A and B are shown apart, each in its own frame.
Chain A
């Protein structure tokens, strides 16, 4: 099981993700420069947080033209795992690998704080270690995490069970007060129809060690390891 962490100019969470993979999980890691087309055998490709290409034009708009993204799209089409976190989620939406878009937070502020997420679906390779309805505590750090899609797309996401995480309060109630950015239906993370591409705004890699204030993020990383092990004959 090998994780590949993509590095665009302006990516800032690549080392955080790499640290969790290598030092916390003791798993195989490779960094993938945005000009590389070779995914070097990565089973799960992580598009980390940051400001790829300075967020010029729109967040994620330029990164999707990087050579590595052709390989990432092909990997996703083959059923390979792709995990976009924060800016990575924005890139996946711009690339059309996930529906919808992420616009400016409704509060207009960059929000950097802990949030609670309710797991809406455990049957994804990223959430097998979670239970439906389980509340995890994961931090956010973004200015443009306000998820929007047209009503038909949102209804389709709900019907197919593609909404994986919603912002909620500590008790697990999905409320307007618990929504940090104005996301429609409190959506914090979604998967592709096939379930192998996850985009989420919160940062699980920043809560994978007790020293950092929480370890709930590790549940997602361990889920990927478990799913990969189950998929290997």
Chain B
């Protein structure tokens, strides 16, 4: 199984990288760009058959290490790669 984890700065946390990328896109003529948030994408390959158990474990991984919940939100999806 593969977990695809996305970690992004919380909406209330200033994201200097996102602001700079937005300004760059605006300067390139993409005037419709109103906001950019720069985060992280993490792939985790897991052993095991139970999607429910994997979901619970990945959520725990996010809480304990992959995201810092003081400043970041996370979400993930699971892909069953068996067969």
Contact yes or no, B70 A101, CB < 8 A:
yes
Task: Indicate the size class of the contact surface on chain B.
Answer: 10 to 19
Instruction: For residue A57, give the distance in angstroms from its CB to the closest CB of chain B.
Output: 7
Q: Contact at A150–B17, with CB atoms within 8 Å?
A: no
Residues of A146-165 contacting chain B, CB below 8 A: 146, 148-150
27 A-B residue pairings within 8 Å (CB atoms): A57-B65, A57-B66, A58-B68, A61-B65, A61-B68, A65-B65, A93-B70, A101-B68, A101-B71, A103-B9, A103-B13, A103-B14, A103-B16, A103-B71, A104-B17, A106-B14, A106-B16, A107-B16, A108-B16, A108-B17, A146-B14, A146-B16, A148-B70, A148-B71, A150-B70, A182-B14, A182-B16
B59 CB to nearest A CB, Å: 17
Size class of the A contact interface (CB-based, 8 Å): 20 to 34
Q: A interface vs B, CB < 8 Å? A: 57-58, 61, 65, 93-94, 99-101, 103-108, 146, 148-150, 182
Please list the residues of chain B having a beta carbon within 8 angstroms of any beta carbon in chain A.
Answer: 9, 12-14, 16-17, 20, 40, 65-66, 68, 70-71
B65 nearest in chain A by CB position: A61
Most buried by A among B14, B40, B66, B70: B70
How far apart are the CA atoms of A210 and B16 in the complex, in Å? Answer: 36
Q: How far is the CB of B58 from chain A (nearest CB, A)?
A: 15
For the A-B complex with A61-B65, A99-B70, A103-B16 known, give 14 more contacts whose Cβ atoms are closer than 8 Å: A57-B40, A57-B65, A58-B68, A94-B68, A100-B70, A101-B70, A101-B71, A103-B14, A108-B20, A148-B13, A148-B71, A149-B70, A182-B14, A182-B16
Counting chain A CB atoms within 10 Å of each CB, the highest count among B9, B13, B17, B68 belongs to: B68
Cross-chain contact B70 with A105 (CB below 8 angstroms): no
